[in-house]
């Protein structure tokens, strides 16, 4: 018995010291000035997995698995390409397309533009792929040499969007979604209303896809030196089924090489001996070699607003966290200007208004405020952007969607008709106990919800009108919940300029009279890793005095998130591009 107890304590001690070693390793790596970059190195962009806007450690196990589950963050890729152009230790860029990456169109557009700028340095770009997916091929087309495995393939298929509709399922379950909305094109509620796209939704989706496909065709055609019409031919002929030699003959790639042969070419470009290892530096490692700007001195704040807009909670853009952060930056004398990086399809109309007001306070302090739009800055994402001094977007950014909706389920068909649960109610007033979600909205409640949605729409369009210096009636003409690409938004006056995050930072630096390298990203990453590791290491978590496993906790958080969704929202339909 004593031996068993001793063994348990020894095991605990070993685990504790291993944990301390892990903390030390992580904190040491984050505290280092960076990875040493040797001469004749290549920036290695490995396109794999998800491409987050910015990697911010929150879950320690996610940090450990980062190298396996996702690629580098977009901001690290963009900044590393910019730095590499002027770094004498970096000879060129090696883009690896072996695993396939998931990124939005605007994110890819920003990388394309960064690679174009890099090529002006005279340095080389080489891409290699066993198989090129369409999104990765778009980036690889910027390479001077685009190698394909002799047994590989290139997938160019055009653009498509497929939206699931749930009305049939809800009918079978006995659930009816009670919906009020403002905006003919406000299609976020359509999957719960019908079984197919409305003509308005089809019109705006077609316009979006046509714009994105035109951009994609033009970039690939320019990179490969072929006519844009040829790209359509590749797509229509299902180029992904062609033998690799035929793909090469069409000019889509060339030449065909196995990976070791392609890396021999890169080794030669780096002026290395045949038996030397390639000196590859990832964007994440490369960025660690850059000394970050000091937040205790004058700087430009870049605040990331990524994900769903919610009133409170973890993840996304939580109003109760974002608002205090903006107010703190406004009152910080070291913050000379603000760039809000928005990548959001919207969410809570209430939280959007609170964030908008906080940004108005920031402007009242006499500091410039610009917005950089990513893949999405639509509905609530546009709401929080519209008051900026200047708004920038990429050509393929999805923005606008200026509209509001309310949606409340009626579960009576399921709960009462199918499950046999009935209710008796006593109330002093007609709406003291609203029927929803266990019955249809009474006329007073529906009228109230419509009034709330209409009022929010008036407020939303009014904010846009004031921010963009346009008559409110003119805003309403281009609002109606319609989604626009960045190129269309520019012509309509919803944005000021086409450009990515670096363009915004450069312009802001000129406006604020501060060096473009004096940039600090917010929210700042916490460094209390020990408490985070100890919290994550626990197998169970105590919630309200009850111990639950982590899987159950995640499910509880999901259900709580759904429960907390407000009735009135400014949100666009998620668009899956194939």
The string of pLDDT tens digits covering residues 20-58 is 444 444 444 444 445 789 999 999 999 998 899 987 544
Contact 383, 570 (CB under 8 A): yes
* Gap between the Cα atoms of 337 and 303, Å rounded: 11
Q: Which two tokens stand for residue 210?
A: 């046509």
* Whether the Cβ atoms of residue 243 and residue 151 lie closer than 8 Å to each other: no
Please tell me the pTM assigned to this model: 0.84
DSSP letter assigned to residue 403: -
Tokens representing residue 161 in the block: 């969007």
Q: Work out the angle between the directed axes of helices 443-468 and 349-364 (0-180°, nearest 10).
A: 30
At residue 415, what are phi and psi to the nearest 5 degrees?
A: -70, -45
Strands 390-393 and 346-348: unpaired
Contact (CB, 8 A) for 127 and 147: yes
CA 381 to chain centre: 12
pLDDT at 70: 67
How does 369-388 read in b/e, with b if 16+ C-beta sit within 10 Å? bbbbbbbbbbbbbbbbbbbb
Using DSSP, state whether 148 is helix, strand or coil: strand
Q: Do residues 339 and 301 make contact, with C-beta atoms less than 8 angstroms apart?
A: yes
- What is the full DSSP assignment across 89-112? TEEEEEEEEEEEEE--HHHHHHHH
CB 378 within 8 Å of CB 401: yes
User: Radius of gyration over alpha carbons of the chain, in Å?
Assistant: 26
Contacts of 222 (CB under 8 A, 6+ apart): 141
The pLDDT assigned to 218 comes to 97
DSSP H or E run through 570 = strand 568-571
| Distance from C-alpha of 552 to C-alpha of 547, rounded to nearest angstrom | 10
Per-residue CA distances from 571 to 193, 343, 491 (Å): 16, 13, 23
b/e for 537-576, b at 16 or more Cβ within 10 A?
A: eeeeeeeeeeeeeeeeeeeeeeeeeeeeeeebbbbbbebe
- Low-confidence spans in the chain with pLDDT less than 70: 1-34, 56-70, 435-436, 525-578
Distance CA(138)–CA(487), nearest Å, equals 19
């Amino acid at each position: 018995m004593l031996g068993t107890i001793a063994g348990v304590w020894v095991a605990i001690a070993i685990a504790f010291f291993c944990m301390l070693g892990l903390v030390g390793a992580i904190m040491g790596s984050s505290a280092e000035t960076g990875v040493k970059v040797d001469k004749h190195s290549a920036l290695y962009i490995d396109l794999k997995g998800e491409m987050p806007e910015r990697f911010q450690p929150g879950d320690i196990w996610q940090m450990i698995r980062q190298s396996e589950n996702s690629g580098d963050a977009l901001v690290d890729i963009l900044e590393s390409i910019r730095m590499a152009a002027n770094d004498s230790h970096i000879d060129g860029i090696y883009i690896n397309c072996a695993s396939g990456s998931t990124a939005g169109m605007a994110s890819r557009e920003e990388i394309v533009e960064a690679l174009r700028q890099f090529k002006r340095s005279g340095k080389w770009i080489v891409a290699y792929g066993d198989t090129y997916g369409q999104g990765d091929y778009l980036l690889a087309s910027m390479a001077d040499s685009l190698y394909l495995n002799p047994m590989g393939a290139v997938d160019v298929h055009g653009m498509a969007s497929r939206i699931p509709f749930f009305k049939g399922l809800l009918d079978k379950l006995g659930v009816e979604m009670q919906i009020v909305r403002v905006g003919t094109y406000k299609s976020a509620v359509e999957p719960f209303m019908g079984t197919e796209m409305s003509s308005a939704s089809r019109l705006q989706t077609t316009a979006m896809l046509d714009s994105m496909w035109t951009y994609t065709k033009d970039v690939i055609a320019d990179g490969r030196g072929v006519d844009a019409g040829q790209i359509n031919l590749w797509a229509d002929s299902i180029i992904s089924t062609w033998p690799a030699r035929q793909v090469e003959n069409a000019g889509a790639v060339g030449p065909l090489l196995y990976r070791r042969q392609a890396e021999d070419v890169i080794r030669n470009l780096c002026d290395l001996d045949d038996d030397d290892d390639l000196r590859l530096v990832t964007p994440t490692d490369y960025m660690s070699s850059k000394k970050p700007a000091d937040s205790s001195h004058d700087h430009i704040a870049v605040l990331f607003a990524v994900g769903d807009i919610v009133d409170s909670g973890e993840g996304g853009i939580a109003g109760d966290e974002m608002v205090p952060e903006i107010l703190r930056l406004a009152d910080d004398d070291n913050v000379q200007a603000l760039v809000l990086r928005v990548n959001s399809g919207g969410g809570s109309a209430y939280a959007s208004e609170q964030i908008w007001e906080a940004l108005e306070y920031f402007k009242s302090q006499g500091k410039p405020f610009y917005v950089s739009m990513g893949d999405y800055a639509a509905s609530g994402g546009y709401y929080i952007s519209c008051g900026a001094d200047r708004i920038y977007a990429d050509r393929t950014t999805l923005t606008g969607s200026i509209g509001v909706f309310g949606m409340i389920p009626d579960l009576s068909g399921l709960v009462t008709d199918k499950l046999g649960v009935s209710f008796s109610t006593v109330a002093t007033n007609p709406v003291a106990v609203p029927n929803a979600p266990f019955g249809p909205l009474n006329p007073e409640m529906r009228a109230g919800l419509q009034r709330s949605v209409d009022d929010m729409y008036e407020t939303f369009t009014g904010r846009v009108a004031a921010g963009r210096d346009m008559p409110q009636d003119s805003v309403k003409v281009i609002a109606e919940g319609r989604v626009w690409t960045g190129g269309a938004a520019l012509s309509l006056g919803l944005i000021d300029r086409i450009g990515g995050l670096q363009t915004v930072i450069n312009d802001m630096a000129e406006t604020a009279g501060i060096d473009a390298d004096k940039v600090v990203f917010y929210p700042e990453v916490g460094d209390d890793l020990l408490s985070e590791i100890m919290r994550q290491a626990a197998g169970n978590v105590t919630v309200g005095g009850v111990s639950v496993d982590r899987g159950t906790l995640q499910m509880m958080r999901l259900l709580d998130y759904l429960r907390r969704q407000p009735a009135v929202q400014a949100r666009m339909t998620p668009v899956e591009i194939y």
